[in-house]
Structure 1
Amino acid sequence: MKDLKKMEGTIIKLVEQLDEENAIKLANEALNAGMHPLRLLELINEGMNRVGKLYESKDYYIADLIMAGLIFKQVLELDKMTAHFQSNHEQKIGKVIVGTVKGDIHDIGKDIFRGMMEANGFEVIDLGVDVPKEIFVKEVEEHKPDIVGLSGVLTSTVDAMKETIDAFVEAGLRHKAKFIVGGNHLTEDALRFIGADAFANDAAVGVKKCIEWINRTGQGVNKNE
């Protein structure tokens, strides 16, 4: 059996370097060598965080972010990954609605969050990108999720996130779910301005927060029905 610890560092570097072929190959080898699927997702996420930093420093371009997203999706589709998550999460632990807010068409961060949430046993309803506040409200009324995730890459999305939360307050639905906002530009000050329950600059951190909420309340899916 190969040294899993050594493989961990190599997997992160391969994702950072956008070496699609070797990243997927080594990820598969790691699973066959006994690496837990959730641990593999954490490593891929770390590699993608590094890609994000290289993009912010203008060393990488939007096409590189897209490639990193493709690597993530391919890892999720590996046989041992799908087999593990399907067998371990037939009973969903919670329901989540996610979407990129109005004015932003970026979906990579949202897609990573969605994939990691599904891998951890959540039912995820993805509304896509450039989602108006009215659609968020409509979908929450219909599906009654435990958690609502608002994603945004552009700094201007802080205003759109606040407008979306305000729409839930006006509709009398703010107390019906927990709200988490995601994006590299978000801060504690931005969170207070937006009026959400939590923020995350990292998909893995966001997932852990959502799991904490579910474990704390024990309410699960369809708690509002």
Structure 2
Amino acid sequence: MSRYQGFTLVEMAMVLVIVGFVISALLIPIGAQRDIHYIEANRSALKTINEAIIGFVVLNGRLPCPAPAMSADVELTNGGIEDCSSNQGKEGFLPWRTLSVDATDAWRGRWHYRVDQGFTNSTSFSTKMLAAPTTQFLFIDDLDLQDANGNSLLSSSAPERPLAIVFSAGKNLMADGHNAVVDNVYQVSDFSNNYDDMLIWLSRPILLNKLIATGRLP
């Protein structure tokens, strides 16, 4: 005699979970799914860039200089090469060829890059890395990070200024908020209708720890 057996409660629960995932995926527009993918890709790329910059410092005893606007063009044979002669104290583009990283972000925009010029000189780099934060003229460019309301994200007493800043202009391919202003202030805030930049910065304490760990500094 044949026996017929229906779904068990566990099997039914698994089916409902799978159906729920399928429905959730269908409810998210394709464009939104693509944006989420690009954001995650950018986060991964920024992590790689951060590691590449630290590696450059370990090898060269200084931070890399920006690449000029024209040399950031991925079509040029000499594009993405750092230029320490004409870009001191200026925002340029990431020297992607010098660092051996991707030339563009997930939206095919160029990576923006700014560095404190006091830390691109190998002669004074070690001295500045080990100096007290209250040392006069330690941070030549006095780079600052602010939120969307203009509040500084740095400590008010002897702040540790960012040594280098890298950011993607995001989906709209345009620097947003204060990042669109040519000065020493950069904006770090949540995504909004008016802001989709993705920014990282390299701080002296973190870099110092890496250099000591590798034996580059005593």
Smaller-chain TM-score bracket: under 0.3
Q: Which has the larger radius of gyration?
A: 2
Structure with the higher fraction of residues in helix conformation: 1
